[in-house]
Amino acid sequence: RGPSREELLEGLNEPQRAAVVHAGAPLLVVAGAGSGKTRVLTRRIAWLIQERQAHPGSILAITFTNKAAAEMKERVEDLVGKRARIMWVSTFHSACVRILRKEADKLGYKSSFSIYDAADQKRLMQLVCKDLDLDPKRYQPGALLHWVSNHKNELRDVDEVKKDAKNKLEETYAAVYELYQRRLREANALDFDDLIMATVNLFQAYPEVRETYRRRFRHVLVDEYQDTNHAQYALIHQLCADPMEETGATDDGQRVEPAELMVVGDADQSIYAFRGANIRNILDFEQDFPNATSILLEQNYRSTQTILNAANAVIGNNKGRKPKRLWSDAGDGARIVGYVADDEHDEARFVSSTIDELVDEHGVRPADVAVFYRTNAQSRVFEEVFIRTGQPYKVVGGVRFYERREVRDALAYLRMLANPDDQVSLRRILNTPKRGIGDRAVECVTSLADRDRITFWDALRRADDAPGLATRSATNIRGFVAMVEELQSMVDAGERADVVLESVLARSGYIAELEDSDDPQDATRLENLAELVAVAREFSDDPVAGPSADPADVDAGTVAPGLRDFLERVALVADTDSIPQDDDGVVTLMTLHTAKGLEFPVVFLTGLEDGVFPHARALGDQPELEEERRLAYVGLTRARERLYISRAVVRSAWGAPSHNPGSRFLDELPVDLVDWKRTEAAQTSWSRPDLTGGNTRLGTPTAAGRRNFSSAAVRADAAAKSKPAREVPSLEPGDRVLHDSFGMGTVVALEGVAEKAVASIDFGSEGVKRLLLRYAPVEKL
Ligand code: ATP
Ligand code: MG
């Protein structure tokens, strides 16, 4: 039973086969884009199970996104059947969560710990800065978090950072790190970087625990190894290095043979240095793992030779890389098509009409098409034009569904129920919707918590003892505590996540408040909450579909998926996870970062302007410029058959139009590969785009609504239901708003009315912007 050797090796070339059947020493597969690294890794897992009788439970495979994990799992299951289900195929984060849930007590955490995402971290950091009395202008939470994150990725703990502080500033930073960690711990919470660092620390502090996992995972496989950071490297090393080589220890009979390790990657596709990824991990593999074998793949099976030549030419401009010759026998294929647009609207119209042409005349399906851009904010114009032309689309990333205020509120309720020590969540919803528990009351409760050294939640339960608390507030707090305890009893009874969520929304008065409001945005909020309930229901019905569900547990029927499982799933959903599958009629819009590992028959690479791509930040900085070039390489190599490149002569970022020169990456393309449909010279003049948005009226879209995890679908849905497509938010000076790319701001002034309304908004470090509200991606907070 199961596939034969031949079947497992079918459709693989010689070096690919060698990688699949390799046994023993650590194996590195380095190869350019589209050479079958992911395919080889997947086949190898099937091979291990089928031919080498590896127990599926002894396999740990690491992918870059949850979506990639789900796909890989599916492929392996297709090959060797259901028994493959119990293998661990997941991201580093998911794998660490699973380990930590079991071992949390050893690190002084409860296994119900929360996972703080970027927004939670920011709130917590704001609290920390307040506690330390830091000037918010000088110490920005975002910058502090980035700094903390870097240390964690390098596995530097608070003590070490404190010890190394060389001046006042560094001491302050160290104090921030210390308090931030203490607050996390008090909240029984870990941030994303902690997940990895805590697991590494766990293995270091408890060798016997590490040995348990070393014994368990006999095969470790890592995709996209070029984007691992030091902490992730250390984790792999702990699981796979040979301890004899490390310490020279003698065999005491207890020794576990190191696991077999295979990593695959491409140094030219390392694009996460800003998040601590270290290209050295792949370059130094042979030193890090002595007696390692490496295999080189050179044939590309994805793209035409024209596309490959273009990609090879661009990446060839990076210094200090190992040159590799990637070739394809797919033939030259079509030439690359270039287009110089007047402005970003013209660029989007070019993309839209070209898609129409491809669909009508070349049998291309919209789902075959992807549009890439450098930054999230660039999606807006494409969305506007696609809505107008009735081209269904989805945006991957952007302001994500899970970042919307109402969704975060609802999740804060759930998280607080699962883990009442989670202060950030508890404080977030304590007076949301308003229930007469104001800042004064919160201060009184906080002092009680500080005085008696109890958690904020315990202090709420004993609010009657809080000195100075007004009687009315005390009554309101009692009501709140009673409600929470009632909801908690549902959670303790193992109630389904969707049922708990519906009770929360009803009992808290959250839904009622939105229903009573006349703010049109609140109608959208209700839809988003309905969506969240649907997501929870889907999860409760089919937990195995969830990447973080442990099928071993589910199969055995031991653990019904409850609220905690749901929260974990939500916490780990990454951008790329929101790509709906099986959707034939929909074009995909995404940033270049999100495109990693994917492939599409038709690719539009847009916004090729110096200052946009490469990003303005990289223009004067060699290492950053090289990272941008790798990003270009990733973008170009996603295309299988047809590649379009475009730039706009003028681009306005919701305010002043700017005139950007063509991207230097365009100059790096061999001229004979590109067929320019329109060049800058062909343009007689360009007119400043009208700030009132003149040429981009939105019509009735035909967006195909499809329920899924992406904000885009929700956005497109909302747009389809209400006309005009974008409600103009009613704002007043002093209102706080959230902008998709500028972040939080305060309205300073308003001019014009209704569709012509223009607001001047102060975005702090981003400056004051004048925005046409009908089109600006702002949300009132
Ligand atoms: P990236 O660097 O972009 O992650 P990769 O090296 O992981 O790319 P894959 O995604 O595994 O490459 O493969 C690229 C494409 O080539 C896929 O469509 C895959 O199915 C196909 N492919 C890989 N190897 C072969 C082969 N030997 N014969 C035919 N097709 C192949
Ligand atoms: Mg791959």
What pLDDT, in 10s, does the model give residues 558-588? Answer: 345 688 888 887 777 644 444 444 567 889 9
85-94, 602-611, 700-709: segment of lowest average pLDDT: 700-709
Q: What is the CATH number of the domain that holds 634?
A: 3.40.50.300
The DSSP symbol for 22 reads -
Q: Say if residue 214 is in the same domain as residue 152.
A: no
In this prediction, residues 697-717 reach a mean pLDDT of 29
Domain end position, chosen among 166, 187, 208: 187
Confidence at residue 526, expressed as pLDDT on a 0 to 100 scale: 84
Structure tokens at 9: 């090796």
**64 CA distance to ligand 2 middle (Å):** 9
**634 CA distance to ligand 2 middle (Å):** 11
716 belongs to a structural domain: no
The mean predicted confidence, pLDDT, of the chain is 84
Distance in angstroms (rounded) separating the CA atoms of residues 23 and 261: 9
Q: What is the CATH number of the domain that holds 536?
A: 1.10.486.10
* Domain count for the chain: 5
pLDDT band at 228 (very low <50, low <70, confident <90, very high): very high
Contact 292, 26 (CB under 8 A): yes
Q: Say if residue 588 is in the same domain as residue 677.
A: yes
Neighbours of ion ligand 2 (CB under 5 A): 37-38, 597
pLDDT band at 711 (very low <50, low <70, confident <90, very high): very low
pTM of the entire structure? 0.75
Confidence at residue 557, expressed as pLDDT on a 0 to 100 scale: 37
Confidence at residue 558, expressed as pLDDT on a 0 to 100 scale: 37
Q: Which atom of ligand 1 is nearest to the CA of 224?
A: 4
Structure tokens at 689: 């785009």
pLDDT band at 687 (very low <50, low <70, confident <90, very high): very low
**535 CA distance to ligand 1 middle (Å):** 32
pLDDT in tens, 620-629: 899 999 999 9
Confidence at residue 484, expressed as pLDDT on a 0 to 100 scale: 96
In this prediction, residues 329-333 reach a mean pLDDT of 93
Q: Say if residue 648 is in the same domain as residue 675.
A: yes
Ligand nearest to the CA of 37: 1
E-only strand ranges, 158-223: 189-191, 219-222
Q: Say if residue 418 is in the same domain as residue 557.
A: yes
38 belongs to a structural domain: yes
**572 CA distance to ligand 2 middle (Å):** 21
In this prediction, residues 745-767 reach a mean pLDDT of 74
Domain end position, chosen among 626, 647, 682: 682
Burial class of residue 481, CB neighbours in 10 A (0-12, 13-18, 19+)? middle
Sheet holding 27-31, edge to edge: 88-90, 59-62, 219-222, 260-265, 27-31, 293-297
99-103, 176-180, 260-264, 322-326: segment of lowest average pLDDT: 322-326
Most confident by average pLDDT, 237-241, 543-547, 681-685, 774-778:
237-241
**89 CA distance to ligand 2 middle (Å):** 15
Residues in the chain: 781
Cβ contacts of 200-203, under 8 Å, gap ≥ 24: 200/155, 200/231, 200/234, 200/235, 200/238, 201/107, 201/157, 202/99, 202/100, 202/103, 202/106, 202/107, 203/235, 203/238
pLDDT band at 546 (very low <50, low <70, confident <90, very high): very low
Q: Say if residue 547 is in the same domain as residue 455.
A: yes
Residues annotated within the binding site for ATP are 31-38
122-136, 392-406, 428-442: segment of lowest average pLDDT: 392-406
Which of 30, 38, 300, when mutated, tests ligand 1's pocket best, judged by the most ligand atoms within 8 Å of its CB? 38
pLDDT in tens, 143-164: 999 999 999 999 999 999 999 9
Specify the residue with its C-alpha closest to ligand 1, atom 14.
34
Specify the residue with its C-alpha closest to ligand 1, atom 9.
36
Domain end position, chosen among 576, 610, 633: 576
The percentage of the chain sitting over the pLDDT mark of 70, rounded to a whole number, equals 85
Residues with CB under 6 A from ligand 1: 11-13, 16, 31, 33-39, 266, 269, 301-302, 597, 599
Residue 43 domain boundaries: 5-101+196-297
Q: Say if residue 547 is in the same domain as residue 442.
A: yes
Specify the residue with its C-alpha closest to ligand 1, atom 4.
597
226 belongs to a structural domain: yes
The DSSP symbol for 688 reads P
Q: Say if residue 158 is in the same domain as residue 66.
A: no
| Active-site annotation, residues | 37-38, 223-224, 269, 638
Q: Say if residue 352 is in the same domain as residue 219.
A: no
Contact 596, 269 (CB under 8 A): yes
Distance in angstroms (rounded) separating the CA atoms of residues 388 and 728: 18
Cβ contacts of 119-126, under 8 Å, gap ≥ 24: 119/403, 119/408, 120/189, 120/191, 120/424, 120/425, 121/145, 121/191, 123/424, 123/428, 124/180, 124/183, 124/184, 124/187, 124/424, 125/176, 125/180
Structure tokens at 416: 């607080």
304 belongs to a structural domain: no
pLDDT in tens, 470-508: 999 999 999 999 999 999 999 988 889 999 999 999 999
In this prediction, residues 611-631 reach a mean pLDDT of 92
Residue 698 has pLDDT above 70, yes or no: no
Ligand nearest to the CA of 301: 1
Contact 355, 391 (CB under 8 A): yes
Confidence at residue 123, expressed as pLDDT on a 0 to 100 scale: 84
Which of 74, 222, 301, when mutated, tests ligand 1's pocket best, judged by the most ligand atoms within 8 Å of its CB? 301
pLDDT band at 368 (very low <50, low <70, confident <90, very high): very high
721 belongs to a structural domain: no
Ligand nearest to the CA of 595: 1
Q: Which atom of ligand 1 is nearest to the CA of 16?
A: 27
**Is the bond into 729 cis (omega within 30 degrees of 0)?**
no
**Which one is predicted more confidently, 658 or 34?**
34
Specify the residue with its C-alpha closest to ligand 1, atom 30.
301
Specify the residue with its C-alpha closest to ligand 1, atom 16.
301
Residue 742 has pLDDT above 80, yes or no: no
In this prediction, residues 371-389 reach a mean pLDDT of 84
Structure tokens at 124: 């917590």
Confidence at residue 559, expressed as pLDDT on a 0 to 100 scale: 44
Judge if ipTM > 0.95: yes
In this prediction, residues 509-532 reach a mean pLDDT of 81
Confidence at residue 99, expressed as pLDDT on a 0 to 100 scale: 96
Q: Which atom of ligand 1 is nearest to the CA of 266?
A: 2
Q: Say if residue 435 is in the same domain as residue 551.
A: yes
528 belongs to a structural domain: yes
Q: What is the CATH number of the domain that holds 743?
A: 2.40.10.170
Report the run of H or E that residue 131 belongs to, with start and end: helix 118-131
Coil, helix or strand at residue 285: helix
Specify the residue with its C-alpha closest to ligand 1, atom 23.
36
Q: Say if residue 520 is in the same domain as residue 554.
A: yes
Q: Say if residue 392 is in the same domain as residue 406.
A: no
Q: Which atom of ligand 1 is nearest to the CA of 39?
A: 11
268 belongs to a structural domain: yes
Q: Which atom of ligand 1 is nearest to the CA of 13?
A: 27
689 belongs to a structural domain: no
Q: Say if residue 568 is in the same domain as residue 462.
A: yes
